[in-house]
């Protein structure tokens, strides 16, 4: 009889192989992920440090109460008072957590708005020289280039200006600008309401020319106020101050770009020197007139 036997089975071993580049990529991705988790955890811990401290204090008190028998007896005797105190602590913890979360959300909202809101800078040039009328009134015209450099449309765009002599008898220029801005401040409105232009980001700018004048009575008031301080002086010159603000809205909320400027005369022989305006010298052409930022104080910009 012939014996038949099953052949011996061959054993094969398989190894899972990963390319070295993939191993490096996975390792780097894992390290980056863990670093990001660590950073976010530290940020969260810093933002909620008060709430975590209260929680840790409550946990410590509970642990001591369970492990220390005399204190446990004390807790059993005054359990009602301790429950009331614990409720107060929980309420304080909840309020602290709410306050921290509210502050975080407010900060994030401000960051989002600052990044996505419209911005209209003050781009102002002279459109004329300075002219005097026979009765002593001075005139000048400014050209405003209104351009939205932000990331959202600006609605209800408008410009408000005032001009007055610089010196005693008239308000401090930054204070006058802040007063003007406050007077232009308005409550939020619904979309489609109100007056003014709409400027889209990266769209063609709008141009606006505004003519301003200072009356002879204002010039005389400035001279008299100066003469009261210095009776021996005989001042006839003047430095006009221009204050104003560009107002616009973003989703109904109003924003302002304020400015404080002064006007000076220049002379070709001294191009870097500034001189006051003198009616005795007559009109000043635009090429000899300079419009510059007022260097003391600042305007309202929000």
Q: pLDDT by residue (tens digit) across 143-154? A: 999 999 999 999
**What pLDDT does 52 receive?**
65
Q: What's the whole-number average pLDDT of the chain?
A: 81
- For the question of whether the overall pTM of this predicted structure is more than 0.85, the answer is no
Cross-strand pairs, 199: 154
State the average pLDDT over residues 50-77.
64
pLDDT at residue 5 above 50? no
pLDDT at residue 161 above 80? yes
State the average pLDDT over residues 24-45.
62
Q: How do residues 90-114 score in pLDDT, each as one tens digit?
A: 888 787 777 777 777 776 777 777 6
Mean pLDDT is highest, among 39-43, 60-64, 81-85, 211-215, for 211-215
pLDDT at residue 119 above 50? yes
Structure tokens at 243: 């204050």
- pLDDT grade for 201, boundaries at 50, 70 and 90: very high
- pLDDT grade for 70, boundaries at 50, 70 and 90: low
pLDDT at residue 40 above 70? no
Is residue 139 a contact partner of residue 212, using CB atoms and an 8 Å limit? yes
pLDDT at residue 273 above 90? no
Percentage of the chain beyond pLDDT 70 is 73
| Selected residue with higher pLDDT from 138 and 31 | 138
């Amino acid at each position: 009889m012939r014996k038949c036997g099953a052949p011996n089975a061959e054993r094969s071993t398989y190894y899972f192989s990963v390319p070295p580049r993939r191993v490096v990529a996975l390792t780097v991705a894992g390290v980056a992920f863990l670093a990001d988790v660590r950073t976010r955890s530290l940020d969260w811990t810093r933002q909620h440090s008060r709430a975590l401290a209260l929680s840790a204090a409550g946990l410590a008190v509970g642990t001591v109460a369970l492990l220390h028998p005399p204190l446990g007896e004390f807790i059993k005797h005054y359990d009602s008072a301790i429950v009331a105190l614990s409720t107060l602590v929980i309420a304080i913890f909840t309020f602290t957590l709410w306050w921290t979360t509210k502050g975080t959300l407010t900060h994030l909202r401000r960051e989002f708005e600052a990044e996505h809101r419209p911005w209209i800078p003050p781009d102002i040039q002279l459109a004329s020289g300075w002219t005097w009328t026979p009765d002593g009134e001075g005139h000048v015209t400014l050209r405003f280039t209104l351009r939205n450099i932000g990331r959202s449309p600006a609605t209800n765009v408008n410009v408000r200006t005032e001009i007055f002599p610089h010196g005693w008898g008239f308000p401090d220029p930054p204070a006058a600008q802040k007063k003007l801005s406050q007077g232009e401040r308005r409550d939020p409105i619904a979309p489609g309401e109100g007056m003014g232009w709409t400027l889209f980001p990266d769209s063609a700018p709008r141009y606006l020319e505004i003519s301003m004048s200072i009356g002879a009575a204002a010039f005389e008031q400035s001279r008299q106020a100066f003469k009261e301080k210095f009776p021996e002086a005989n001042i006839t010159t003047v430095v006009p101050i221009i204050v104003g603000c560009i107002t616009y809205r973003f989703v109904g909320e109003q924003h302002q770009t304020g400015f404080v400027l002064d006007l000076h005369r220049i002379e070709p022989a001294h191009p870097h020197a500034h001189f006051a305006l003198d009616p005795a010298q007559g009109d000043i052409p635009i090429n000899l007139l300079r419009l510059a930022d007022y260097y003391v104080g600042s305007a309202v910009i929000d």
